[in-house]
Amino acid sequence: MKQAERSHTLQTGGRLHWGRYAADSALAIAGVSVITSVIAVAHLYPIIPTIAFVYLLLVLTLASTRGLYAAILTSLLAFLCFDFFFFPPPYTFLVSKAEDLFTLAVFLTTAIITGQLASALRRRAEQASSRERELRILYAQAQELVSLQERQRLARELHDSVSQVLYSIGLGAHTAREALEMEGDPAQAVESINYVLTLADAGLAEMRALIFELRPESLETEGLVAALIRQVTVLRARYKLTVEVDLGEEPHLSLEMKDALYRVAQEALHNIVKHARASAVTLRLTQEADEITLEVRDNGRGFNPAGQFPGHLGLRSMRERVTRVGGTLRIESAPEQGTSVDVCLPIVMAS
């Protein structure tokens, strides 16, 4: 099967090459014939001694568009036609002057050099086109990888938060029912119901935050401040953290900058919940004349920002997002001294 396919490919390629040679030959013959006819009918030679260089224009054109074979064939045909019809003695192929040989050498040299240059330019253009296709494929693969990672992250969030909340709600409801039916303890039932209500509020807040992430346009319609407040609501309801919030008014930033600030804050808050073991968090968004600053601080166990964290791309992703929109990211932390994440974006660029 493979030998048959290879044979078919070679045959097809051979037909294409012969077809191109035939087309190049036809163009060369037709071009030289037209120029020779015009010179003969208008009696341009020897009135214009340099009229032979009109052939050179045809040689250059075919060399740049068709390649080396067409250029050399055109040069030979042009020399033969000019020698046969115009050089004395006419209607012979005798070359009696050194100038005639020089003209042929000029034609051939021009054809070879131009053909080689044109061939090199075509190869470079093909290589550039190939690299562009490869970059597009890599970009599409990167986009798919990012989407896959985002789906996996959302799946983990659903499993770690909402599904556990629903499970806890079920346990609390069963406890309340048992307290009423078997033990007859209304106080225990009320306590279980209050626990269920607290979990339901936390689950609702987390579900709203996840839905917000699934709808990127929500950041544009509802705003950055509303998005950050949703994250704070989850921290308070689900993780019982004390969160100090100072966000101010909705900043006048581009959607790309708002998204960068939101993603950095989201990653920083996620790290607080997952790693910091903090009890208090500060989230602040301040605006000045020429810049806007996002601050996320905690009183957790801290870490060494200069250390290596293999497999954890959160800090690198935060820095790349901020750099992409022309901002700066500063992370200050030390063991047992909490962590501070500060993002500064220039408002001039946003406007």
Residue 349 falls inside a structural domain: yes
Residue 306 falls inside a structural domain: yes
Domain boundary among 140, 159, 176: 140
Domain boundary among 140, 158, 179: 140
Residue 226 falls inside a structural domain: no
Same domain for 242 and 116?
no
pLDDT of residue 347: 82
Q: How far apart are CA 317 and CA 283, in angstroms?
A: 20
Same domain for 246 and 134?
no
pLDDT of residue 167: 73
pLDDT of residue 69: 82
Q: How far apart are CA 96 and CA 116, in angstroms?
A: 31
- Per-residue pLDDT for 160 more than 70? no
Residue 214 falls inside a structural domain: no
* Residue 265, domain CATH: 3.30.565.10
pLDDT of residue 341: 95
* Location of structure tokens 């556990």: 164
Reported for 3-8, long-range contacts at CB under 8 A and 24+ positions apart, including other chains, are none
Residue 222 falls inside a structural domain: no
Residue 199 falls inside a structural domain: no
Domain count, the chain: 2
Q: What is the mean pLDDT of the chain?
A: 80
Find the range with the poorest average confidence among 13-22, 169-178, 283-292, 296-305: 13-22
pLDDT tens-digit series, residues 220-276: 788 899 889 988 988 887 788 999 999 999 998 888 899 889 889 988 998 898 888
pLDDT tens-digit series, residues 295-317: 999 999 988 887 765 545 578 88
Average pLDDT of the residues in 325-339: 92
Domain that holds residue 270: 235-351
Residue 94 falls inside a structural domain: yes
Same domain for 134 and 241?
no
pLDDT of residue 350: 40
Q: What percent of the chain has pLDDT over 90?
A: 18
pLDDT of residue 47: 82
Dihedral Cα 66, 71, 73, 78, nearest 10 deg:
130
Domain boundary among 140, 174, 200: 140
Same domain for 119 and 239?
no
Average pLDDT of the residues in 134-146: 84
Q: What DSSP state is assigned to residue 215?
A: -
Residue 116 falls inside a structural domain: yes
pLDDT of residue 280: 94
Nearest 5°: the CA angle 254, 271, 339 is 90
